[in-house]
Amino acid sequence: MSARAGWLPLRNAARTPLDAIPRQPWQELAAGVLTAVARGERVCALVGWRGSRSGAELLAVLADDEAGLLWLALAELEGDAFASLTPECPQVHLFERELWETLGLRPLGHPWLKPVRFPQRPGMDGAPEIGVMDFYRVEGEEVHEVAVGPVHAGVIEPGHFRFQCHGEEVLHLEISLGYQHRGVERALVEGDPRRRLHYAETLAGDTSVGHALACVQALEGLAGCQPSPRADAVRGIALELERLANHTGDLGALAGDVGFLPTAAFCGRLRGDWLNLTAELCGSRFGRSLVRPGGVGFDLDPERAERMRARMHAALRDVADAAELLWTTPSVMSRFESTGVLSRQDAVSLGVVGLVARASGLPRDVRASFPTGIYRFAQLPRAGWESGDVFARAYLRWLEIQRSAAFASEELAQLPAGPTRTGCPALAPESLCVSLVEGWRGEICHVVRSDASGGIAGYKVVDPSFHNWAGLALALRGQQISDFPLCNKSFNLSYCGFDL
């Protein structure tokens, strides 16, 4: 591992003692973050807690995608305020707002300090009234405001979108979430340990396998536990099936948003085929109860594995027919191309991840840059595009469907022998683990910290939506307001994964 003064290099899902993480004043840590971001690294997480050494400690986790390394450093704050990094590094804008509302740590100079999820902090007389806040306004002749949500006409979760428009053109979109904050991170620490995996699987219901795997990887890292190759392969198959189901459903939803019913109807049914394959694997269409510490809760016999491969090939053939209709229909392409562009520069500035980043020309994929489990030995070709528009985000879904199906089929055909689950010892005390997983939306990050007795002292979840919602807001600038449903679906971000 390369050296860097004041920072600790760490592999994905590896453990480090807390005392091994370098400590430095906030000013030095902030300067290190800016230097790292300027050379192409990005902020995975900025986590805070009230420590025994000082009033508060802030942990910065940086990702170096080229080197496959995470860099960690701690800052000990004097008092309850620190100089905001947001004006120079927009990637941390939400992290700083979150630190202010959960720990009372004020980022001085933050340009738009307001609640993220409206929790009730210790010592507060009452929680902030959800949704009551200032919104940015564009002033000018014929400028008007359109407010959408948080109660929507469709069966979707609550979120508020406030558009500043001149005629039909969107000048600015501000997105406000936090209407269903569940306190999951606190429950992961203070709740019954027997429910920990249940909380992880339901952080974002459409990403049950992804979040469960991130949680289990962190626990295994803290315990020094290594799953068997067979368990790693089954986990990888389940993760790719989750990607296949959601990407296929999104292609159908994008078709529906432009009124193209053939693909919309086909993909709605085909999404169910991928979900049923997950049910064939573990009895749950969403992959619940599959990923467990030390391995997996279900095994595959050769006959079932071969049956799954046959059904997978049939589903892929049908998806290919449905997808091909999109790319060969001029009316669809006229709506997809050059709509909702997120430039590469804005994607870098905001630190977006996953498919959204890859559609804007950024090669960000945890499976390639920070591989764990089966991805250490069998990698998928990384798909990418440059245009950053709705078409790029749609077509990348189709490319990833093909590659995920080929990967899962190959793993089903050559499952390693051995047990599906091994025992996990107790967690190492006063240690920390950062676990990354490439969920179907993008990078899932779980930062888990143990206490002196080997219990969980702190748990931070960063869903890919936390990075990417601001990207949707920028993609709407200069668009027609009628393009919002299409742009929104091309990102397809999670409300509950953000609100936690």
| Tens-place pLDDT, residues 11-20 | 999 999 999 9
pLDDT at position 474 is 97
How would you classify the pairing of strands 81-83 and 106-108?
Answer: parallel
What mean pLDDT do residues 314-329 have? 97
How would you classify the pairing of strands 69-77 and 23-24?
Answer: parallel
- What are the start and end residues of each CATH 3.30.460.80 domain in the chain? 8-108
pTM, two decimals, is 0.95
Q: Is the pLDDT of residue 182 over 90?
A: no
Under CATH, what is the fold of the domain 184-462? Cytochrome-c3 Hydrogenase; chain B (1.10.645)
Q: Is the pLDDT of residue 126 over 90?
A: no
Helical axes 302-327 vs 261-282, angle rounded to 10°? 160
Q: Is the pLDDT of residue 1 over 50?
A: no
Q: CATH homologous superfamily of domain 8-108?
A: NADH:ubiquinone oxidoreductase Nqo5 subunit (3.30.460.80)
Q: What is the mean pLDDT of the chain?
A: 94
- What are the start and end residues of each CATH 1.10.645.10 domain in the chain? 184-462
Instruction: Name the pLDDT band for 26 (thresholds 50, 70, 90).
Output: very high
